[in-house]
Homo-oligomer: A and B are copies of this chain.
Amino acid sequence: MPTYRTEPEDEGRLLVQGPDRPGIVAAVSTVLTDIGANIVALDQHSSDPHEGQFFQRTVFYLPNLTARLPELSERLHGQLAEELGLNWRIVESKRPKRVALLASKSDHCLLELLWRQRRGELSMVVPMVISNHPDLATDVRQFGIPYFHVPISAETRPEVEAHELGLLKGNVDVVVLARYMQILSPSFLEQLGVPVINIHHSFLPAFIGAAPYDRAKERGVKLVGATAHYVTQDLDQGPIIEQDVVRVSHEDSTADLRRLGADVERRVLARAVEWHCEDRVMTFANTTVVL
């Protein structure tokens, strides 16, 4: 029984990004057709037809894809990188992303992801969950996933982050902060070398930082939201992948906002992780293009 969403054998995803110019779509489709691939789906976007940034995600089928990757890569390098000055990368759809989940005490985002993964909705495997608290160990381990309890404090941060890097590096393709209530140091992010997705419990850029539900209650907003974004060195300022909101009213206490918001958080984070694992999300100028 597969424990993750399986994608077709011999299906590839080609991601292309760079300065827009005439002929990119034709160049990509010609390379793929010439080598015998069939385009299954194609999405592209240009930030501006005149001198904008171009983005394309192409899903294709090519018999014997794994074996033919070197040849295909060589052709793409020649056509896309050398001729057109574009960045590109190619991914085999069948390889699930290796996702480490970092959590603290809240279970809602973490369990939502593990449950969706088990259900086959996410093209990911979870090699480990790391938490600075022991509370969620039983819940996680019954999914057959290792749970590493790694306490952290201001004093221990340098050693603990080094330990975490030892656990993560080489073993994961992306790190997801599923309501992990610690800030990662710039040095950690730099050494980690893979994208980090965070869920912030407000509709950014409203209520950046701590205690957003308390501040939402105080301000009397009529909707509360959640934001999934890539982590950068600036707190809550990274490229936004997905956001959503839920209606609230004067009847809802701060605890109600927290409870209603938790449902939005898990929905928003699940969508962001799904899209990331499907190689749909490209970043540019601190924003995302979701193809």
Interfacial residues, chain A to chain B (CB-CB below 8 A): 22-26, 29-30, 32-33, 38-47, 49, 61, 107-108, 111, 115, 119, 121, 142, 203-207, 218-223, 225, 239-245, 249-251, 259, 263, 267, 286-290
Contacts and interface: CB of A to CB of B under 8 A. Distances in A.
B286 A220 contact: yes
A141 B205 CA distance: 41
Nearest to A289: B250
A203 B203 CA distance: 9
Given A26-B30, A263-B267, A289-B250, A220 B239 contact: yes
A240 B267 contact: no
18 contacts: A22-B39, A23-B33, A38-B49, A40-B46, A41-B46, A43-B43, A45-B250, A204-B206, A206-B206, A218-B287, A219-B240, A220-B239, A220-B288, A221-B243, A222-B243, A222-B244, A223-B225, A249-B290
Nearest to A222: B243
Nearest to A238: B220
Contacts of A24: 39
A289 B33 CA distance: 25
Nearest to A121: B259
User: What number of copies of this chain does the assembly contain?
Assistant: 4
Nearest first, the 10 closest Cβ-Cβ pairs linking A and B are A220-B287, A22-B38, A26-B33, A26-B29, A206-B206, A222-B243, A250-B289, A25-B39, A25-B29, A29-B29
A32 B38 contact: no
Nearest to A225: B223
Nearest to A31: B26
Most buried by B among A42, A222, A259, A288: A222
Contacts of A25: 29, 39, 42
A290 B249 CA distance: 8
A145 B53 CA distance: 42
